[in-house]
Amino acid sequence: MSEPTGGRLVLAGNAIVDLVMRVPALPERGGDTVSRDTAFTTGGGFNVLTAARRLGLPALYAGAHGTGPFGDRVRADLAREGIALVLDRIREVDTGFCVALVDDGGERTFATSLGAEARLTEADAAAVLAALRPGDMVQISGYGLAYPVNGPVLASLVARLPEHTRVFLDPGPLVDQIAEEVLAPVLARCDWVSCNQREARLLTGLPDAHEAAAALATRLGPRTGVILRADAAGCRLVLPGGEPLHLPGRRVTAVDSNGAGDAHAGAFLAFLGHGLDPVTAAEGANAAAAFAVTRPGPATGPTLDELLGFLDGDPLAARLSSALGR
């Protein structure tokens, strides 16, 4: 695989541990259900990092992490994927965890317990700034922006990022809980915003995907691109200053949708980092997300070989293979 031309992915987000429980359906309020399968996995921002790393983009975890069994698991999994750490561990608290219920339709429902990842400091922000190199891409998550401690620190960090750094925001399901004084400076600095249809509706008030993508692009201004992810329908892509394009998705049998949006984000960033144009990068991200939902688990983004095999002769496979030196 060719060396990337666009720097590294630096994730100023949250890598936590997921307790994934597979259930027939969510119980009614006050009810109960029995899990058919239960597993601990590292998730959160880890999913974005691994999706990018498996496609050849160097990646760094610039979030906080704690001391204890969950922190140890996160660090071990990051090391296994070849992802470096920027910050030292926090001594007095463990990394947080999330309970993820995955039903028979592949949909997931979360409940999260915060830990060390929600305790960023200004000293941490300074360390992240010092670690950056020209051409790096910094990914920010709306989860972190919604945390009372992390939000102001991350907003201040983003405002101080050098011009050579590209900023990528995934506003996440808590976008309507982010304080305006935190969200506004991040949106003003973003080069790309990637969200799902629900998040786009919360940001614009519009239920139609095409209209929401156009309205969000107008709100963000001519320097910022928009990706509105629509699951099996693919995505709406708005190039900076342009109009929404519909890039179709790929029909697959979904096994687990947990982490599909992260696989899309990580793949898009990896392809940008390898010098691909945004349209091709988004098409590749659509394919990576489709591959991811056919596998159980949150961190199921493909390697390049897996993605090319999945595309199986599709013209996109030749374009990706040529650009990435395969």
Q: Quick one: pLDDT at residue 228?
A: 98
Q: Which residue has the tokens 């409940």?
A: 111
How far is the C-alpha of 259 from the C-alpha of 75, rounded, in Å?
Answer: 19
Q: Quick one: pLDDT at residue 257?
A: 74
Q: Quick one: pLDDT at residue 141?
A: 95
Closest among 192, 129, 133 to 160, alpha carbons compared: 129
Q: Quick one: pLDDT at residue 313?
A: 83
DSSP 8-state secondary structure symbol assigned to residue 310: H
Instruction: Spell out the per-residue pLDDT of the chain, length 326, in tens.
Output: 655 665 899 999 999 999 989 999 999 999 999 999 898 999 989 999 999 999 999 999 999 999 999 999 999 999 999 999 999 999 999 999 999 898 988 777 888 999 999 999 999 999 999 999 999 999 999 999 999 999 999 999 999 999 999 999 999 989 999 999 999 999 999 999 999 999 999 999 999 999 999 999 999 999 999 999 998 899 999 999 999 999 999 888 887 777 789 999 999 999 999 999 999 999 999 999 999 998 877 778 999 999 999 999 899 998 898 878 76
Residues in contact with 219: Cβ distance below 8 Å, sequence separation at least 6, in sequence order: 187, 203, 204
How far is the C-alpha of 170 from the C-alpha of 6, rounded, in Å?
Answer: 19
Q: Quick one: pLDDT at residue 79?
A: 97
Tell me if 301 sits within 8 A of 51, measured CB to CB. yes
Closest among 301, 304, 311 to 325, alpha carbons compared: 304
Q: Where in 76-203 does DSSP place strands (E)? A: 84-85, 97-102, 108-113, 137-141, 166-170, 192-196
How far is the C-alpha of 212 from the C-alpha of 202, rounded, in Å?
Answer: 10
DSSP 8-state secondary structure symbol assigned to residue 86: -
Reduced to 3 states (helix: H, G, I; strand: E, B; else coil), residue 147 is: coil
Q: Quick one: pLDDT at residue 282?
A: 97
Q: Quick one: pLDDT at residue 104?
A: 87
Q: Quick one: pLDDT at residue 1?
A: 62
Q: Where in the chain does DSSP place strands (E)? A: 9-11, 15-22, 37-44, 59-61, 84-85, 97-102, 108-113, 137-141, 166-170, 192-196, 225-229, 235-238, 244-247
Q: Which secondary structure element, helix H or strand E, spans residue 322, and what is its range?
A: helix 315-323
